[in-house]
Structure 1
Amino acid sequence: MEYAQLRGVSRREILSVMTTPPDNFLQEATTVSSEDFFAAINFISTSLKDDLLGIRLGNFLNMNSLGLIYQISLQTATIEEALFYLNNYIGNTIPVVQPEIQFIEDRVIINLSINVDKSEASTIVLESLLTIISRELDMMTAQPLDFLLFSPACSPEYPSEWQQGKSFAISFKAALLKASLQDISRLHLDALIPEYLKLIETMKPEPTFSSKVKIASLNMAKPELPALEKVADVFNLTPRTLQRRLSAEQTTFRQITDDLKKQISYMLLQHNRFSVMDVSYVLGYSEPAAFIHSFKKWYGNSPEKVRTRLAVSA
């Protein structure tokens, strides 16, 4: 729903095609029937006419990405264990999808299928889930995942990691099942997530294109903010077109990301558990010195001096 609205599809029109629309999509326990689920997806697909809708949706969505990864990092030590929780998550949130894990030679293949015949809508759902799974696993592993994605609908327009296949699946080397997860818990992302969400909540509600770009960027953060090309693709726009639309609102993508980094860094520095190196990592800087340089430009002082001032005024 949120992604469709970002792309300009009316929430009211989506709800109108559902037999029993929910009162509040934002409540975690909200559910819809499979008929209404597919009716909404078909309407969105017809409205957007985007052959890569599932992939773009998957790049925007993230299964509450940071929260899920943090929870998994507390309970698991390997990709093999993490897959159990990922499959369980899919089964509980989208029960029409059936995951199946196969071992063929030296590779693991996770097949996803939908029993009901909803061809186009099924393609969107399954391609979005495979995109999400590949992102989640890639973020969790301490080494490159080197995965392949398969879809019967694959065409030359698909990203390079996609191939034509008889089923919807993701494949990677079986040896990675025993690979260790990244030590993400050291960043205490349980504190970072609320800060991100509060930032989204406090954004101005005007339906401007720049505000949509901010929301998309925050939603795609892992935790560093995504590049221009990634955000533009979510809107099915070229980077140049996205910049042109932002220019019409007297801003640029660089200004938007700098503003987000400025706000996020200020919030994180209020938590002593985050070192300057941690904050620079969260914001996607290659080294702390680059972050410190940007921070001084934003606030006129170093991160440590600002942190000291915040502690005194607290």
Structure 2
Amino acid sequence: MTLRSILALTFTVEQLRQHYQLDTEAILARHGLQQAHLDANATISQADELAILAEFADQIQHDPLAAITIGSTFGLSSYGAFAMMLMSCSSVYEAFALGIKYQQLSYLFSELDYQLDGDTVLLKLKPYPLPDHLQRFIVDRDVAGTWHFLNTMQTMLGRHLKPLAIHMPYMQPAEAAAYREKFQCPVEFGCNEAAFVLPLEVLRLPFPGANATALDLYRGQCEEIIKQRSQVRTEALSERLKQYLTMFSQRFPAIKDCAATFGLSERQFRRLLSDEGQSFQQVLDNVRAEKACHLLRHSSQSVEKIALLLGYSEAAGFIHAFKKWQNITPAQYRKQTAEKTEPGA
């Protein structure tokens, strides 16, 4: 499983602690981590990092612009050798090409790409599948961090070009004006993916700090980091997948999307699960079964509503699946568990 640098998480944790006085230590402790003892060279899986970020996002829902604030503070030091490699490039075009090739060294939870469109270029960030309550937080952090990175690059170039527009992959929020004020350009919501629309001329701009020797050095370091992080971890992938899927409601990601989130090809993903005696469908069914039992025991929601929460378009499909899991219908399960909890039962 491909791992990520823990630096981005530490930057996020520190900003949340400073700006929102969150008890970040308690959240990290639930995941077996201590902020004071995080090794700057350490790595973390995407799924584990997402689980931690989901808890942070839940605690700062009162500020819908929190992730914009946090992402805008990410400095070059959070990118390490990846940033130094890009800064050593001969032009913005070369930096774009290498940034995309080595994007797994960034902190993004998005697939990075670019597209030429007439006299503009789109730097695109296609988000990984995320639960609805977490998507905006992650997208905002990624976009704000990328915006800050682009501004830093422009400062090095002695230029101050603003994006012609920024695209956001969710519906327009009530705070839309704050986004336009922050990014100082039009911000379009409801798009298929996040993107920065830039003048095509940007690609031709040379970097004043271009150095072929330094580029080779940092590129070699990036290659070595990728090699170290790409060691396949076979322990409890099914448990990590279960933890990831548990964050979702109504819409669960497909296997190919889960594989991408874990930094694996779909073929590798299937093989590693098989090595543990599991399949993607078995893990997904297990997650759905646990969610179903919890909702039937602890809520009064109808079977139809629970079916929708578990990603079924019709209650009949859920009822059929539940009978396979528990050998009884959801209604019978709810009645039995209610009887067991009655006084004197």
TM-score by length of 2: 0.46
TM-score by length of 1: 0.50
Structure ranking higher on relative contact order (CA contacts 8 Å, 6+ apart): 2
